[in-house]
A and B are shown apart, each in its own frame.
Chain A
Amino acid sequence: MEDLQSLARLVETGMRLALPVDYAGVSMAMVHPLIERGISDLDVVCVPTGGLQVDMLVGAGVVRSVETSAISLGEAGGAPCFNRAVKEGSILVRDATCPAIHTGLMAAQKGVPFMPMRGLIGSDVLRYRQDWKTIDNPFAEASDPIVLIPAIRPDVAIFHVPMADRHGNVWIGRRRELAAMAYASAVTLVTAERIVDKNLLSDEVTATGTLPSLYVTAVAQVTRGAWPYGLWGEYSADTQELMRYAREARTAQGFSAYMAGFGEAE
C-alpha cells in the first residue's frame, strides 16, 4: 500500500490526466499532493465533466489545457478559477460533448486510432475542434457525413473508490466510467476509503463491480478522500463547503487563502 505522496510522484510535468465527473468518485485527497509536487503544464481530460478538483488545479497554475464537456460546482455555481483563466486566456480549453469523451476513451480501450460518433455536425463544438474530423460513411450508399473522434490515451487516471483489496483490485460498483478511464490510461492511481482483506475477485457479487489490479498501478488508503464531494453508497456531498469555496475562490487571493486551509484540514 502506498501513501498519497508516492502516488503523486508518478505524475510528471506535461502529462495528460483523466479525472472523473463529480458524482463518480473524485480523489480530492490527491489535490494537495499533486500541487505540492511542483509539476506544471498538465493537460486535464474531464470524464466527461469537471468541477472542484479541476478548478483547484487550474487555480494553482499547474494546468495547461482542459478538455471537458462542462465544468461547474453544481449547486454552488460556476467554477471560479477556471472562469478566470478562460477570461485571461491563460489555459487552453478544448470544449467537447460528453459522448465524444466516452468515444475517445473507448477507442483507446480498443487500441484503435479513432471511433465515429453521431451528432455534432453543424455545431461550434465541432467547428473549433481541429483534431476531430468529418468523413463520409464508407458503408452508406448515399452521402452520410459522420465525425471521427481520435483515441484519448491519458498518461494517468486518478479516482477515489469505497474499497480496494490487498491485491490491488478496486471496487467501482456501477460507476463504469472509472473502468473506462483505467482501460484507456497508461497509469491508474486510486485512493480508497478502506482496504479489505478478502480478494474482491473471489466473490462473484463483488467481482462484477471490481476493476482488476491488471489496470491499477497504485492504491492509497484515505478516509473521506472525496470530500467535499460525496462518494456513492458512503457519504453525501458537503454542499456548504462547496459554497464556501465558491465564495472564497472568487479572487486569486481568496483562492490561495482557502487552499492553505484545505491542505491542513486533511
Chain B
Amino acid sequence: MSMIQPPLPREILICTIARLLDGVRHVAVGASSPIPAAGAMLLRALKERVGAAPVKISILGSVEHNFFTNGSTELFDCAGQGRIDAFFLGGGQIDGQGNINLVGVGDYPRSSVRWPGSFGSAYLYFVVPRVILFREEHTPRVFVEKVDFISAPGTSDEGVYRTGGPYALVTGRGLFRFDRQKGRFRLDSIHPGHSFDEIAEATGFTFEHDAGPGVTPSPDVDELDLLRGRVLDELAETYPEFAAQMRQSLTEIA
C-alpha cells in the first residue's frame, strides 16, 4: 500500500479557498493568482465528481478558462449585474476594517513605495458578494492598523449601494472571516504548524477570536488526489511555472 504524502502548506491554502467558495455558481480569478485559481478548480472538480451543480470559472489572462468575448469591460459588466459570485483581491496593505490598499505606502500621490494601482477593486469590492482577500505574506507591514490609501473600503455607510464586500481573509498563517455588521475580522482557524501568538504578533490590527481557535482542516485523500492530478494539469495551462513548482515540491518530500 502506498503512503499518501502529507499536504504541503500551499495545498492547505488551496483547499481552504475551495471550501470558502462552496455554493458559488461563477467565480472570477484575476491574473497572476495561481492559488485562488487552484482553489476554484478544486471546487469545480469536487462538484463534478458528486454530480452537483457545475461551477463556472473565469480566469483573466487564460484562453482555456475564460468565457469573455467582449473585452476587458465584460468582467465588470458581469459583476455589476450579479453574475459573479466570488472574486479574489489582495493588497499591499489590508487593515482591520477590511480596507485594502493597492496603490502605495506614504503620502499619496508621492508614494515612497508605489504599487501597480487599484485595478478593478474600487468597483468589484462593492458588487461581488463573496470577495476573498488572499495574501500569503502575513506580516505587520501588510496587515496594518490603517491603510495609507483606500483603494476600496471594507464597509460602506447605510444607503450606499453595496451588494458585495469582504467575506474572508486567507493568509499563509491562518483564516479570518469578516463580520460585515461589526466591520472587523474574526480569526476562524490557524493553519497547521502556526500558533495564535505568532498570528497576533504578525497582525498589525486587532481582531476578534474564540478562546481557542481551531486548526485549519487539512485536505482529505479525495481532495489531495484531485489536487495533485487534474487540478495541477488544468493549472499548468495558465500558470506553468507555479504548477511545475508544486510538482517539484511534491517530489522533494517523497
A143 touches B120 (CB 8 A): no
B119 proximity list for chain A (CB < 8 A): 49, 69-70, 97-98
Closest chain A residue, CB of each to CB of B110: A89
Considering only residues 85-111 of chain A, those with a C-beta below 8 Å from chain B are: 86-87, 89, 93, 95-100, 102, 106
Q: With A102-B73, A119-B122, A174-B71 known to touch, is A75 a contact of B32 (CB < 8 Å)?
A: yes
A243 interface hit (Cβ, 8 Å): no
Whether A70 lies near B116 (C-beta < 8 A) is: yes
Interface string of B11-37 (1 = CB under 8 A from A): 000000000000000000001100000
User: Which positions in A face B, CB cutoff 8 Å?
Assistant: 21, 23-24, 47-49, 68-72, 74-75, 78-79, 82-83, 86-87, 89, 93, 95-100, 102, 106, 117-128, 142-146, 174-180
For the complex formed, measure the closest distance between the CB of B47 and the CB atoms of chain A, giving whole angstroms. Answer: 28
Query: Residue among A70, A83, A87, A119 with the most chain B CB within 10 A?
Result: A119
State A72–B121 Cα separation when bound (angstroms).
16
What's the Cα separation between A78 and B103 when bound, in Å? 12
B118 at the interface (CB under 8 A from A): yes
Q: CB < 8 Å: which of A106, A118, A178 contacts B126?
A: A118
Choose from B73, B110, B112, B123 the contact partner of A120 (Cβ within 8 Å).
B123
B76's partner among A71, A79, A102, A125 (CB-CB below 8 A) is: A102
Q: What separation, in Å, do the CA atoms of A74 and B230 have in the docked complex?
A: 27
Contact (Cβ within 8 A) A124 B150: yes
A-B contact pairs, 10 of them (CB 8 A): A69-B118, A70-B118, A98-B76, A118-B161, A119-B125, A122-B157, A123-B153, A126-B122, A176-B73, A179-B71
Q: Which B residues lie within 8 Å of A102 (CB)? A: 72-73, 76
* Chain B contacts with A in 104-134, Cβ cutoff 8 A: 104, 108-112, 114-127
The chain B residues found within 8 Å of chain A, CB to CB, are 31-32, 61, 68-74, 76, 80, 102-104, 108-112, 114-127, 149-153, 156-157, 159-161
Give complex CA distance A23, B68 in Å: 14
Determine how close the nearest CB of chain A comes to the CB of B147; give it in whole angstroms: 9
Contact of B118 among A117, A125, A143 (CB under 8 A): A125
Min distance, Cβ A71 to any Cβ of chain B, angstroms: 6
Contact present for A97 and B120 (CB under 8 Å): yes
Nearest residue, chain A, Cβ from B163:
A118
Interface centre among A83, A117, A121 (most CB of B within 10 A): A121
- Assess the A87–B103 pair: CB atoms within 8 A: no
- Bound state CA distance, A95 and B119, in angstroms? 9
CA of A177 to CA of B71 in the docked complex: distance in angstroms?
Answer: 5
Shortest B235–chain A CB gap in Å is 16
Residues of B within 8 A of A176 (CB): 69-71, 73-74
Query: Bound state CA distance, A48 and B122, in angstroms?
Result: 13
- Give the complex CA separation of A175 and B120 in angstroms: 18
Query: Are A68 and B160 in contact, CB atoms less than 8 angstroms apart?
Result: no
Complex-state Cα separation, A177 to B60, whole angstroms:
14
CA of A99 to CA of B119 in the docked complex: distance in angstroms?
A: 9
Known: A87-B110, A128-B108. A69 touches B159 (CB 8 A): no
Q: What's the Cα separation between A87 and B115 when bound, in Å?
A: 12
Q: Which residue of A lies closest to B164 (CB)?
A: A119
Q: A69-B118, A71-B116, A102-B76 are in contact. Are A97 and B123 (CB under 8 A)?
A: yes
Besides A144-B159, A145-B159, 18 other CB < 8 A contacts?
A: A47-B72, A49-B119, A69-B119, A70-B102, A70-B116, A78-B116, A79-B116, A87-B110, A87-B112, A95-B117, A96-B118, A99-B73, A100-B122, A102-B76, A174-B69, A176-B71, A177-B73, A179-B71
